[in-house]
Amino acid sequence: MFSLMDGFLKNDPISLQKDILHHVEYTVARSRFSFDDFEAYQALAHTVRDRLIERWHDTHIYFKRTKPKRLYFLSLEFLMGRSLSNSVINLGIEDQCAEALNQLGFEFEVVAEQEGDAALGNGGLARLSACQMDSLATLDYPAWGYGLRYEYGLFRQIIVDGFQHEKPDYWLNFGNPWEIERIHVTYEVKFYGTVEEVEMNGEKQKVWIPGETVEAVAYDNPIPGYGTRNTINLRLWAAKPSSKFDLEAYNTGDYINSVVNRQNAETISNVLYPDDRSHQGKELRLKQQYFFVSASLQDIMRRFKEEHTNFDELPEKVALHLNDTHPSLSIAEVMRMLVDEEHLGWHKAWDIVCKIFSFTTHTMVTDGEKIPVELLENLLPRHLEILYEINFNFLEEMKKRIGLDYSRLALLSIVEEGAMKSIRMANLAIVCSHTVNGVSKLHLEKLKTKTFKDFYGLYPEKFQCKTNGVSQRRWIVVSNPGLRDLISKWLGTEAWIRDADLLSGLRDHLDNADFHLEWKMVKKVNKMRLAEYIEAMSGVKVSLDAMFDVQVKRIHEYKRQLLNIFGIIHRYNCLKNMDKDSRRKVVPRVCIIGGKAAPGYEIAKKIIKLCHAVAEKINNDTDIGDLLKVVFIPDYNVSVAELVIPGADLSQHLSTAGNEASGTGNMKFLMNGCLLLATADGSTVEIIEEIGEDNLFVFGAKVHEVEKRRQKRLSNLAPLQPAKVPLHFARVLRMVRDGYFGHNDYFKSLCETVEFGFGNDYYLLTSDFGSYLEAQAAADKAFVNQDKWTRMSILSVAGSGRFSSDRTIQDYAESTWKISPCRCPL
Neighbours of 62 (CB within 10 A): 17
Q: Catalytic residue among 49, 443, 609, 668, which?
A: 668
User: Binders of ligand 26V among 34-53, rule CB under 6 A?
Assistant: none
**x/- letters, 350..389, toward ligand 26V (CB under 6 A):** ------------xx--------------------------
Among 154, 431, 439, 562, binds ligand 26V (CB under 6 A): 439
Largest Cα span, the chain: 95
Report the candidate in 596, 576, 470 with the shortest Cα–Cα distance to residue 163: 596
Residue from 661, 765, 795, 822 in contact with ligand 26V (CB under 6 A): 661
Cβ contacts of 482 within 8 Å, gap of 6 or more = 521, 522, 525, 526, 646
Give the ranges where 69-184 is alpha helix by DSSP (H). 84-91, 94-103, 108-112, 124-138
Three-state DSSP class for residue 194? strand
Taking the complex as a whole, how short is the minimal distance between the CB of residue 388 and ligand 26V, in angstroms?
24
Contact flag: residue 327 with ligand 26V (CB under 6 A): no
* Least separation in angstroms between CB 166 and ligand 26V: 15
Closer of 613 and 661 to ligand 26V (Cβ)? 661
Please answer whether residues 319 and 356 qualify as being in contact, where contact means their C-beta atoms are separated by less than 8 angstroms: yes
Name which of 62 and 558 has its Cβ closer to ligand 26V: 558
DSSP string, 78-98: EEEE--HHHHHHHHT-HHHHH
354 versus 603: smaller Cβ distance to ligand 26V: 603
Interface pick for ligand 26V out of 117, 246, 275, 806 (rule CB under 6 A): 275
Stretch that binds ligand 26V, among 166-174, 372-380, 452-460, 659-667 (CB under 6 A): 659-667
* DSSP annotation of 783: H
Is 279 a binder of ligand 26V (CB under 6 A)?
A: yes
Does 268 bind ligand 26V (CB under 6 A)? Our answer is no
Contact assessment for residue 638 and residue 126, using Cβ atoms and an 8 Å cutoff:
no
Q: Quote the CA–CA distance of 684 and 690 in Å, as a whole number.
A: 10
**Catalytic pick from 553, 556, 605, 710?**
553
* Catalytic (active site) residue 596: no
By CB under 6 A, the residues from 201 to 260 that bind ligand 26V are none
123/595 Cα distance (integer angstroms): 10
The candidate with the shortest Cα–Cα distance to 217, out of 184, 256, 174, is 184
Concerning whether 553 is annotated as a catalytic residue, the answer is yes
The neighbour count for residue 33, using CB atoms within 10 Å, is 8
**What mask, x for binding ligand 26V by CB under 6 A, covers residues 125 to 144?**
x--x----------------
Identity of the residue, 224 or 663, whose beta carbon is nearer to ligand 26V in the bound complex: 663
CA–CA distance from 303 to each of 318, 351, 353, 376 (Å)? 10, 21, 17, 29
Least distance in angstroms from the C-beta of 429 to ligand 26V: 14
Q: What are phi and psi of 682, to 5 degrees?
A: 50, -135
The nearest distance, CB 323 to ligand 26V, in angstroms, is: 9
Q: How far is CA 694 from CA 247, 688, 779, 791, in A?
A: 70, 9, 11, 11
For helices 727-737 and 744-752, give the axis angle rounded to 10 degrees. Answer: 140
Which of 655, 559, 642, 638 is CA-nearest to residue 598? 559
Output 24 or 126, the one with its CB closest to ligand 26V.
Answer: 126
Please say if 580 is a catalytic residue.
Answer: no
Cα–Cα dist 404/43, whole Å? 68
Report the nearest approach of ligand 26V to the CB of residue 803 (Å): 11
Binding mask 456-475 for ligand 26V (x = CB under 6 A): ------------x-------
489: annotated active-site residue: no
End-to-end CA distance of the chain: 17
Q: What span, in angstroms and rounded, lies between the C-alpha atoms of 129 and 330? A: 18
Binding part of the chain for ligand 26V, among 175-183, 276-284, 411-419, 616-624 by CB under 6 A, reads: 276-284
664 is catalytic: yes
Name which of residues 330 to 349 contact ligand 26V (CB under 6 A): none
Q: Smallest distance, Å, CB 324 to ligand 26V?
A: 6
Pick between residue 277 and residue 734 the one whose CB is nearest to ligand 26V: 277
Q: Which of 36, 116, 124, 47 is nearest to 82 (CA)?
A: 116
Among 36-44, 172-180, 380-388, 655-663, which window interacts with ligand 26V (CB under 6 A)?
A: 655-663
Scanning 10-18, 30-38, 269-277, 767-775 for contacts with ligand 26V by CB under 6 A, the matching segment is 269-277
Q: Given the rule CB under 6 A, which of 136-144, 289-297, 395-403, 662-670 is the region that contacts ligand 26V?
A: 662-670
Distance CA 17, CA 13 (A): 6
Pick 15 or 280: Cβ nearer ligand 26V = 280
Query: Which residue among 664, 679, 684, 766 is the active-site one?
Result: 664
Instruction: Give me the catalytic one of 321, 362, 589, 612.
Output: 362
Is residue 539 packed enough to be buried (19+ CB in 10 Å), middle (13-18) or exposed (0-12)?
exposed
Identify any residues that bridge with 145 across adjacent strands, giving them in sequence order. 73, 234
- Contacting residue, 145, 153, 224, 682, with ligand 26V by CB under 6 A: 682
- CA 820 to the chain's CA centroid: 25
Query: Is 184 among the residues known to form the active site?
Result: no
User: Which residues, in sequence order, are bridge partners of residue 144?
Assistant: 72, 233
Q: What share of the chain is helix, strand, coil (3-state, %, to 5)?
A: 55, 15, 30
The residues in 106-125 that bind ligand 26V, with binding defined as CB under 6 A, are 122-125
The distance of closest approach from Cβ of residue 76 to ligand 26V in the complex, given in angstroms and rounded to an integer, is 7
Site membership for ligand 26V, residue 662 (CB under 6 A):
yes
- Which C-beta is closer to ligand 26V: that of 133 or that of 386? 133
In this complex, which beta carbon is closest to ligand 26V, that of residue 166 or of residue 276?
276
Quick one: CA dihedral 679, 685, 687, 692, positive or negative?
Answer: positive
Name the minimum Å distance from CB 361 to ligand 26V: 9
Task: Name the phi and psi angles at 518, rounded to 5.
Answer: -65, -40
Which of 273/463 has CB closer to ligand 26V? 273
Q: What angle do CA 456, 462, 464 make, to 5 degrees?
A: 95
Q: How far, in Å, CA of 808 to CA of 129, rounded?
A: 12
Q: How far is CA 617 from the centre of its chain?
A: 34
User: Nearer Cβ to ligand 26V, position 250 or 558?
Assistant: 558
* Active-site position among 127, 554, 556, 589: 554
Phi/psi region, residue 140 (left: phi>0; alpha: psi -120 to 50; beta: rest), is left
Other C-beta atoms within 10 Å of 198: how many?
9
Quote the least distance from Cβ 564 to ligand 26V, whole Å.
18
Q: Is 357 exposed, middle or buried (0-12, 13-18, 19+ CB in 10 A)?
A: buried
Dihedral of the alpha carbons of 574, 575, 578, 584, in degrees to the nearest 10:
130
Binding footprint of ligand 26V, residue count (CB under 6 A): 21
Residue at shortest CB range from ligand 26V: 124
Residue 636 engages ligand 26V in binding (rule: CB under 6 A): no
228, 551, 561, 664: residue in contact with ligand 26V (rule CB under 6 A): 664
Nearest to 425 by CA among 289, 525, 537: 289
- Among 28-36, 134-142, 487-495, 656-664, the segment contacting ligand 26V (CB under 6 A): 656-664
Which one of the spans 52-60, 84-92, 147-155, 277-285 is the region binding ligand 26V (CB under 6 A)?
Answer: 277-285
Binding residues (CB under 6 A) for ligand 26V: these are: 122-125, 128, 273, 275-277, 279-280, 362-363, 439, 468, 660-664, 682
Which residues are part of the catalytic machinery? Answer: 362, 553-554, 559, 664, 668
